A and B are shown apart, each in its own frame.
Chain A
Amino acid sequence: MRIRVDNKNIEVDSNKSLLLNLKDNGINIPHLCYQEGLEPEARCRICLVEINNKLVTSCNTYPKEGMEIKTKTKRVNRARKINAELLMPEHMDKCFRLNKHHDLCNIIGDLGLKEVRFNPTRKYTADLGASVIRDNNLCINCGRCVQVCAQVQATWAIDFAGRAHHEHVTPYFEHDLNDVACIKCGQCIAACPVGAIDEREHLQEVLAALKDKTKHVVVQTAPSIRASLGEEFDMPPGTLVTGKMIAALRRCGFNKVFDTNLGADMTIMEEGTEFLTRAKNNGPFPMITTCCPGWIKFMEHFYHDLIDSNNMSTCKSPHEMLGILIKTYYAKKAKISKKDIVVVSVMPCTAKKFESTRPEMKSDVDYVLTTREAAKLINHFNIDFKNLKDEEFDPALGISTGAGAVFGATGGVMEAALRTAYEVGTGKQLTKIEFDQLRGMDGIKTGTIIIKGKEIKFAVANGLANARELMKRKDDYHFIEIMACPGGCIGGGGQPLPFAWEKIHKRMAAIYKEDARLPLRKSHENPIVQKIYKEFLDKPLSKKAHKLLHTHYYKRGL
C-alpha cells in the first residue's frame, strides 16, 4: 500500500502501525507510552500526526488507502508541545535537570520546550523496596510498567488505581512492592521513560568497602555484562568488552576480578548431575532450572505445586554459588579470613539484589550492582573505558567455559546442561555442541535429545507470560529452563536503558560469539571446576556440595 507522507509517496505495511511504518521510512515520531512489543494504549498523546487535517495518535492508527499524513506542521508541533508541557510538571519537580536517560526529557529537548506553566500536584511517598524503588512523584502515568508487568511477565503486581488526577500506579491497597507478589525482575525499570522506577543502589556501600583497606574486595561479573556494558560508554550494542571490563574494575580498586561464568559451570555440574540422577530414578519430572531469581520468586507466589512435587532443582543461582566458593574455597587458599572478604556481584538483574537479602540463603554475596551501577562506578573513578587495554580474569576463580558464557541468553542454561549431561551420561562426545533449536528469541522453544536410549524432551521459556503457557503443559517435558526477562539475562532489568529489542538481539549474538571464541566449551572440562571438586567438594551432589551450593524454597502468598 502507498500513502502520502509530507508530500512524498511511501510504501507501507498495513499490518504495522503508522508510528512503526514511519520509523521504517526514516521518520522518527517522538513517543512515550508506546514500547516495542506491547499493545499501544495512546495515553501520552505525544506521537500526534495530522491525517487529512485531523490530529491523530500514530501509535495506534493503521495506514489506510488515500491517507495524507503530515508530520511536521505547525499545528502538530504545537499540539505535541502542549501535551508534553502538561506531562512535564510532575516529572520536572523531581528531575531537576534534563536527564538523557529519560525519554520524556529527550522529547522536551527536541520539541524545544523551555518553560512549563503548570505546577506539580502529586504528593506520594516513595516505595523503597529491597531492590526496586518506585517514586510516584516522578511518574507521568504512561502505563508502560503496568503493561510490561501484565503482558510480558503476567505478574500483575502493579496497576492503575484511582481516577482522573488521583490516578496513580500502585500495588493493591497501596502496599509496598515488598509486600505483594512482585518478582523484582526490573522490567518496569527498563520500561519507565521517566526514571520513576529505579533499582535500590548498592553503590555507596561498595565505594565504602573499596575505601576500607582492611577489606579484601572481590568482584564477579555475570555472563551477559560483557555483552552490554559497552553500551553505557557509547559503544555499539553487542560489543564484547570482557577485557576492558576487567581492566576497568581493577582500576576501580577491586582486589580480585572473578568470573560468574565459573559459577555457571558449577551450576551445570550440580544441575546436570541432579538431572542424570533423576533420569536414573525415573523422576520427578520435569526438572526446572533455578538460575533465575525472578522466576524463583514467581514460582513461590504462583506455583506452589512445583515445590510440593519437587520439580524445582535445588541449585543456587550461579553468582550465589561463586559467592560461597569465594568465601570458603578461595578464602582458605588465599589465607584470608572469611569476614574480611567483601563479595560484589555485577549482575544484569534487580532480582539478584533481592536474592542476596533472602534469609534462608544467608547470602555470601554482600552487594549486587546492576550493569548501570557498574558503569556509574567506572565513571566515578574517571576511567577512560573505551581506551583501556584488555586484561584477563584472576586465575584463581577466573577460568570459565563457553557453557558458562551462554547462560546470559535464553536457552543457554539448557544448552550448557545438555552438553554436560549428554557427555557425562553417555561417555560419548557430542558431534555438534551447538543446539540450534535452543537459540533465538522465541518465547517457548522445545526439542528432544536421546541420552542412554532414553528420549529426553526439553523446553525453554523466556518472559513469565510464556512461562505460564509452558507450565500448562509441563508434564510433557523432562527438563525445563525458565528465564524471567525477555531474551534471558541480556534483556534483564539492570541492563543499560532504554529497552530495545534490537539491542537484545545484538547482545545475544555477542554472547554466542563469546561461546564460539573460548577454547573450552563444556562445563565438565573446566580445569578449575575439576580442581574444586578434587580439593574441596569431593564430587557433584556430595554432602558438602549439598550444604554449600543448594537451597530450598518457600510458599509465599499473593
Chain B
Amino acid sequence: MPDLLLTELRKIQKKDGYISEQAIKKLNKKTGIPLSNIYGTATFYAMLHTTPQGKYIIEICNSPSCFLNNSLNIIKYIENKLKIKSGQTSKDKKFSLHIGSCIGCCDKAPAMLLNKKQYTNLTKEKIDFILKKLK
C-alpha cells in the first residue's frame, strides 16, 4: 500500500486542487499510513500543495540553467507584479506562485509552468504579455 501514496496524493491534488487536512485524514484511514508521513511526502514534492491554490498556478524553475539565465530577476518581477511571495496565493485566489524544480527546458531557460503548460525564454515583457492575457 505505501507504494501507492504518491498516486493517491496526485489524485487528491487533481480533484481538490490541493491536499487538505481532511483529505490526508481520509487517506490515513484508508491506507494506514501515519498522518505525519503523508504530510511529509506532500510537502516534499513541488507538484503537491498543502494550501488552497489559485486559479492559475505558476511554477518557475530555479535550477542551475535557469538560475544562470537570471530566473531570480524574473521571480522578483512576478512577485512584485502579483504582490505575493513565492509559495503564496494572491488574495483574489487568482494566482499561486511557486519555485519549482527543473522542468527539462534547460535549453530555453529561464522557463516556467503555468497550469502545467510550458513558457520558455522568459523576459519581463513576455511575463507582462502572458499575465495580461489571463486577466
Interface residues of A (CB under 8 A from B): 150, 156-163, 166, 170-173, 180-181, 558
Contacts and interface: CB of A to CB of B under 8 A. Distances in A.
Contacts of A158: 36
Contacts of B34: 150, 156, 159
A390 to B, nearest CB: 47
A173 B44 contact: no
Interface in B19-50: 21, 24-25, 28, 34-40, 43-46, 50
A162 B44 contact: yes
A157 B3 CA distance: 21
Contact of A156 (B35, B43, B44): B35
B40 A161 contact: yes
A247 B37 CA distance: 48
A198 B68 CA distance: 43
Given A159-B34, A173-B24, 14 more contacts: A156-B35, A156-B37, A159-B36, A163-B43, A166-B43, A170-B36, A171-B36, A172-B21, A172-B24, A172-B36, A173-B21, A173-B50, A558-B25, A558-B28
Nearest to A158: B36
Contacts of B46: 163
Contacts of A159: 34, 36-37, 39-40
Interface of B: 21, 24-25, 28, 34-40, 43-46, 50
A181 B37 CA distance: 13
Contacts, number: 45
A502 to B, nearest CB: 31
Nearest to A174: B39
B14 to A, nearest CB: 20
A442 B130 CA distance: 65
6 contacts: A159-B36, A161-B36, A161-B39, A161-B40, A170-B36, A172-B38
B62 to A, nearest CB: 11
A163 B50 CA distance: 14
Given A173-B21, A173-B50, A558-B28, A162 B43 contact: yes
Contacts of B37: 156, 159
A173 B45 CA distance: 15
Nearest to B21: A173
B35 A172 contact: yes
A49 to B, nearest CB: 30
A162 B48 CA distance: 11
Contacts of B50: 173
A154 to B, nearest CB: 9
Contact of B40 (A160, A180, A558): A160
A161 B25 CA distance: 17
A165 to B, nearest CB: 12
A273 B90 CA distance: 65
Nearest to B38: A172
Given A172-B24, A558-B28, A161 B35 contact: no
Nearest to A163: B44
Nearest to A557: B25
Q: What 7 pairs across the A-B complex have the smallest Cβ distances?
A: A156-B34, A159-B36, A172-B39, A172-B35, A159-B40, A161-B43, A172-B36
Contacts of A156: 34-37
A503 to B, nearest CB: 29
